[in-house]
């Protein structure tokens, strides 16, 4: 007999038919009711056994966490909470789970505890829901770009350029760290290393995406990204996934339009396709809210998502943002940790949160930042001091997207590379695209886990990626 997945069974139950289901025991009540889940849906199916007919030793093996296959008849359910159940004809335990040792019990575990047993998290309702939404968001992103004629580009994960200029890269080497070869100047001799030069894991795929866009017009990357920033926050991972579109013949306004459309598409996709999982996650949030003071409450997840899907984002320049912040209450009352005074400061997350959550109460796109706080590749404005950058800030998240129009003028770009002491021999190929057939072009990066935080309403980025990598943590 062919196995039927629980999702398919619940969506189209054939009352009276015989089915084979396989999954993991969630609960076993009254020696009679087995809740079985196979991960295809948040819903478990109830299998009912006649314990008087079964072997006592076999019955004992039906424990939370055990894997099981069941053959039985589909009937309308007697109990409330489910429409159908399965009357068991035969069952077979595929793998035992000793209740004395199995770390997951049929009760609510803390997210902190679950992080310590991340290898078993996919067996919980919360993480299975998150992983299904993560899949849906991946699919939505590919669908969004495919519908618009973009090509997906695979950019290298090992690189010899520090594209963001932040020096936060993980080194890649095969050198013996106990016996590192030195050159005549007593510096590390990377010529003897695997690639014959100093290399690291990519902090972005942007530069290579630009090369592809300047031939294919519209491309995007969707890949792992690595940053060795030692910031132990609920918003940072050392390994995260980034989506980076790059568009030829597009300026920074087109760039903002694309990013806003993409975010709305993803949020709408989740509303349309992840209803049951989001309802489950929302219920979790509402339960947690009950024990929180008013200002810390997450509020209703669906309201938040629908608001973003249906309202235009606010668009302001950095200069306008600084003006608002300078005159704001928390600044005047010295409530900000970093007071906003002079034009040119980098905005801190407390400032971003004020703008989004208190002032505008909606997503905000900030553009035209000071050149000297942004990366070398951003296009210089005519004022000579700002660049055509744009960051999108989301409620509860902060920065979710960062991007810009790119400097396409060969002479201006060469000067910026010199000013920032970037070795010319590491970016000659990037400059070549400005030498031959250069065009205005723009792009941005979306942090996939930050999108996941927003869509699921989760509070910690470690809980929206299957196996998080953070400082001092690379288990599993
Ligand atoms: O703003 P960032 O650093 O921009 C870039 O890397 C550009 N090359 C993108 C481009 O224009 N093609 O990073 C982009 C986004 C951020 O807005 C944030 O959402 C996410 O990536 N991000 C992180 N997410 C999780 N953990 C981290 N450590 C992150 N650093 C950035
Ligand atoms: Mg950024």
Strand partners, 316: 366
Tens digits of per-residue pLDDT, 100-134?
999 999 888 999 999 999 999 999 999 999 999 99
For residue range 206-255, list pLDDT tens digits in order: 999 999 999 999 999 999 999 998 888 999 999 999 999 999 999 999 99
- As a whole number of angstroms, the distance between CA 376 and CA 373 comes to 9
Strand segments (E) across 263-405: 314-317, 364-370, 386-394, 398-405
Tell how far the Cα of 403 is from the centroid of ligand 1, in angstroms: 9
Residue identifier of the C-alpha nearest atom 9 of ligand 1: 445
Dist. CA 444 → ligand 2 center (Å): 9
Residue 164 has pLDDT above 80, yes or no: no
Q: Is 421 exposed, middle or buried (0-12, 13-18, 19+ CB in 10 A)?
A: exposed
Residue 81 has pLDDT above 80, yes or no: no
Nearest-CA residue for atom 6 of ligand 1 = 204
pLDDT of residue 80: 74
C-alpha dihedral, 362 to 450 to 283 to 45, nearest 10°: 140
CA distance 441 to 258: 13
Extract the tokens encoding 14.
Answer: 């054939």
pLDDT on residue 297 = 87
Q: Please report the pLDDT score of residue 296 as a whole number.
A: 84
* Average pLDDT of the chain, as a whole number: 96
Q: Is the CB of 204 under 6 A from ligand 1?
A: yes
pLDDT digits (tens, 9 = 90+) for 185-216: 999 999 999 999 999 999 999 999 999 999 99
- The C-alpha atoms of residue 209 and residue 412 are separated, in whole angstroms, by 21
- Between the CA of 29 and the centroid of ligand 1 the distance, in Å, is 48
Contact in structure between 385 and 432 (CB atoms under 8 Å): no
Q: Is there an atom of ligand 1 within 6 Å of 164 CB?
A: yes
pLDDT band of residue 82 (cuts 50, 70, 90) is confident
* Ligand in closest contact with the CA of 235: 1
Among the listed residues 339, 308, 297, the one whose alpha carbon sits nearest the alpha carbon of residue 322: 339
Ligand 2 centroid to residue 403 C-alpha, Å: 7
Residue with tokens 């709305």: 264
Distance 149 CA to ligand 1 centre (A): 24
Q: Report how far ligand 2's centroid is from the alpha carbon of 322 (Å).
A: 17
Q: In this predicted structure, what is the pLDDT of residue 144?
A: 99
What is the pLDDT, as a whole number, of residue 189?
96
CA atoms within 13 A on the CB side of 14: 7
Residue 209 CA, closest ligand 1 atom number: 12
CA angle 370, 372, 377 (to 5 degrees): 95
Contact (Cβ atoms closer than 8 angstroms) between residue 360 and residue 314 = yes
DSSP of 196-233: SS-EEE-S-SHHHHHHHHHHHSEEEEEEEEE------S
Beta carbons of 399 and 363 less than 8 angstroms apart: no
- Closest ligand 1 atom to residue 246 Cα is 12
Task: Please state the atom number of ligand 1 nearest to the C-alpha of residue 392.
Answer: 17
Question: Quick check: 181 pLDDT over 90?
Answer: yes
**Which residues are CB-neighbours of 134 under 8 A, at least 6 positions away?**
452, 464, 465
The residue nearest atom 5 of ligand 1, judged by CA position, is 445
Tell me: the pLDDT tens digits for 319-378?
Answer: 999 999 999 999 999 999 999 999 999 999 999 999 999 999 999 999 999 999 999 999
Q: What is the pLDDT of residue 63?
A: 97
Is the C-beta atom of 398 inside 6 A of ligand 1?
A: no
**Mean pLDDT confidence for 286-299:** 89
Q: Inform me whether the pLDDT recorded for 295 exceeds 90.
A: no
Strands 364-370 and 199-201: unpaired
Give the atom of ligand 1 at the shortest distance from the alpha carbon of 227.
Answer: 28
Q: How many CB atoms lie within 10 A of CB 439?
A: 14
SS (H, E, C) 52-88: HHCCHHHHHCCCCCCEEEEEEEEEECCCCCCCEEEEE
Counting ligand 1 atoms within 8 A of each CB, the residue from 242, 401, 461 with the most, and so the one to mutate, is: 242
């Amino acid at each position: 007999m062919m196995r039927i997945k629980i999702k398919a069974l619940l969506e189209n139950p054939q009352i009276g038919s015989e089915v084979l289901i396989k999954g993991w025991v969630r609960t076993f009540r009254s020696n009679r009711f087995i809740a079985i889940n196979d991960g295809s849906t948040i819903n478990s199916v109830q299998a009912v056994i006649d314990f008087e007919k079964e072997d006592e030793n076999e019955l004992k093996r039906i424990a939370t966490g055990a894997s099981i296959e069941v053959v039985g008849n589909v009937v309308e359910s007697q109990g409330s909470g489910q429409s159908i159940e399965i009357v068991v004809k035969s069952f077979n335990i595929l793998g035992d789970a000793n209740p004395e040792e199995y770390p997951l019990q049929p009760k609510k575990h803390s997210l902190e505890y679950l992080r310590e047993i991340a290898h078993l998290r996919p067996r919980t309702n919360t993480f299975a829901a998150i992983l299904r939404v993560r899949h849906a968001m991946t699919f939505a992103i590919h669908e969004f770009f495919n519908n618009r004629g973009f090509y997906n580009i695979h950019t290298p994960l090992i690189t010899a350029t520090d594209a963001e200029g932040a020096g936060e890269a993980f080194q890649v080497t095969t050198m013996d760290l106990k016996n590192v070869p030195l050159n005549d100047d007593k510096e590390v001799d990377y010529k003897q290393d695997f690639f014959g030069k100093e290399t690291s894991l990519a902090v972005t795929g942007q530069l290579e995406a630009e090369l592809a866009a300047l031939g294919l017009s519209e491309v995007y990357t969707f890949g792992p990204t690595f940053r060795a920033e030692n910031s132990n926050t609920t918003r940072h991972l050392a390994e995260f996934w980034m989506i980076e579109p790059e568009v030829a013949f597009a300026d920074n306004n087109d760039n903002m339009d694309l990013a806003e459309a993409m975010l709305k598409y993803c949020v709408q996709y989740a509303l349309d396709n992840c209803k049951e999982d989001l309802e489950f996650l929302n219920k979790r949030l509402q339960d947690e809210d009950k024990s929180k003071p008013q200002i810390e409450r997450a509020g209703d997840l669906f309201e938040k998502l629908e608001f973003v899907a249906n309202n235009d984002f606010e668009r302001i320049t950095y200069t306008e943002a600084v003006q608002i912040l300078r005159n704001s209450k928390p600044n005047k009352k010295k409530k900000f940790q970093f007071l906003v005074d002079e034009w040119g400061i980098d905005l801190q997350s407390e400032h971003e949160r004020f703008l989004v959550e208190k002032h505008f109460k909606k997503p905000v796109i900030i553009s035209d930042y000071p050149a000297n706080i942004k990366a070398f590749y951003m296009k210089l404005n005519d004022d000579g001091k700002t660049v055509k950058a744009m960051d999108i800030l989301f409620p509860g998240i902060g920065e979710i997207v960062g991007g810009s129009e790119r400097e396409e003028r060969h002479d201006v770009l060469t000067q910026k590379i010199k000013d920032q002491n970037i070795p010319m021999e590491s970016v000659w190929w990037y400059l070549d695209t400005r030498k031959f057939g250069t065009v205005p072009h723009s792009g941005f990066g979306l942090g996939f886990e930050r999108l996941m935080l927003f869509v699921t309403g989760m509070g910690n980025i470690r809980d929206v990626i299957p196996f998080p990598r953070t400082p001092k943590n690379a288990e599993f």
